[in-house]
């Protein structure tokens, strides 16, 4: 009886070429569009600095003389009006663009060096031995997930309840979230950062692409203890970017990889487990690990932003001493959610690694 052929993952080059063909096919249907950029200036420690950012409200489709949306089909070989890139030379152009300090060349060199070093380590068997040791130490201890789950639920409840509590407590100086954010920026010598309202609750954030702090409605014009704490925290992020704070620069650098990993990690893990394709399962683990690294880097960024916020609140006399305690409780509760998320990701990662190693052991 003839054995059925098992499914094998296509070669990497075939997958890449397939992606290129898909992207080329999409150019038939997806119309051209563009964003405008703008130059922003800000002051940092008495020195004027500038940065080019996208204007989020400037997107528009490219229209022809009749007002119809324009599509431009990707050519086989690149032409000048298509940036020199085509279906058959995308890979080459993508590999040679940039310089040694950034973009494609720098990334490719980094991957080659790290990949080679990792390959040497794998050859020694140290990684496999370490994984098996972890399995022996943690076998039957899946119950450890329960306290982390409880912590995660508690953290979400704590941040919501603490924010609601101090959103009802008006601060004695009547400082609004908008005023608090601007006060933190002034205290650190940072100018040129916009402060705007946004919809929702607990949706406050700083967008480095537009150099803008977005504050939710319960924070922007509210003169409460919670509003001052949250707004000062988001302004702390703007100060981090202006000052070139190391961890925030690292987090920004790995955002593209993290976004890719968060989108495709679960797909790779699911398909790898169901179809029993160990290489695909390993790819899923690596992508999931990238998101865990991002969460790990996020911790010092968030703690530092809160520290900057509380320091500015003190130096600017934005809150009284008892009100400052309330603002600190709000920020501490928010930080707890990041800790819980990291612990959950690390335990999930450990679980996937154990499953992967166990399947390899059964195949021997």
The residues annotated with a catalytic role in the active site are 234
Residues 6+ apart with CB under 8 A from 90: 20
Start-to-end Cα distance in the chain: 24
Task: Tell me which residue of 222, 214, 352 sits closest to 289, measured CA to CA.
Answer: 352
CB 112 within 8 A of CB 95: no
> And the tokens for 334?
């928010």
* Spatial separation of the C-alpha atoms in residues 289 and 254, rounded to whole Å: 12
CB burial of 283-300 (b: ≥16 within 10 Å; e: otherwise) equals bbbebbbbbbbbbebbee
Query: What one-character DSSP code corresponds to residue 22?
Result: H
**CA dihedral of residues 169, 173, 179, 180 (deg, nearest 10):** -70
* Spatial separation of the C-alpha atoms in residues 22 and 194, rounded to whole Å: 39
């Amino acid at each position: 009886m003839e054995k059925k052929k098992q499914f094998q993952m296509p070669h990497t080059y075939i997958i890449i070429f397939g992606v290129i063909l898909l992207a080329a096919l999409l150019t038939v249907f997806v119309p051209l569009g563009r964003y405008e950029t703008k130059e922003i200036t800000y002051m940092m420690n008495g020195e004027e600095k500038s940065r080019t950012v996208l204007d989020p409200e400037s997107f528009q489709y490219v229209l022809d003389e009749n007002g119809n949306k324009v599509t431009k089909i990707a050519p086989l070989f690149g032409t000048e009006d298509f940036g020199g890139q085509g279906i058959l030379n995308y890979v080459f152009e993508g590999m040679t663009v940039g310089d040694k300090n950034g973009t494609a060349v720098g990334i490719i060199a980094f991957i080659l060096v790290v990949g080679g070093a990792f390959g040497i380590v794998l050859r020694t068997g140290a990684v496999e031995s370490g994984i098996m040791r972890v399995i022996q130490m943690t076998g039957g201890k899946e119950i450890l997930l329960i306290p982390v789950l409880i912590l995660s639920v508690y953290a979400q409840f704590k941040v919501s309840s603490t924010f609601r509590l101090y959103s009802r407590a008006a601060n004695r100086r009547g400082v609004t979230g908008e005023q608090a954010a601007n006060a933190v920026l002034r205290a650190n010598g940072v100018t040129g950062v916009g402060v705007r309202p946004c919809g929702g609750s607990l949706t406050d954030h700083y967008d480095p692409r537009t150099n803008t702090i977005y504050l939710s409605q319960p924070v922007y014009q509210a003169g409460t203890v919670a509003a001052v704490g949250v707004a000062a925290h988001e302004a702390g992020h703007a100060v981090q970017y202006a000052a070139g704070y190391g961890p925030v620069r690292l987090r920004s650098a790995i955002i593209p990889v993290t976004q890719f990993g968060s989108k495709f990690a679960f797909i790779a893990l699911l398909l790898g487990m169901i179809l029993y394709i160990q290489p695909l399962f390993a790819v899923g683990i690596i992508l999931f690990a990238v998101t865990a690294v991002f969460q790990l880097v996020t911790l010092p960024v968030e703690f530092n932003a809160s520290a900057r916020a509380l320091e500015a609140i003190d130096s600017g006399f934005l809150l009284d001493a008892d009100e400052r305690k309330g603002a600190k409780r709000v920020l501490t509760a928010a930080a707890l959610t990041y800790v819980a998320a990291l612990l959950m990701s690390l335990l999930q990662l450990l679980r996937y690694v154990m499953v992967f190693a166990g399947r390899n052991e059964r195949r021997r």
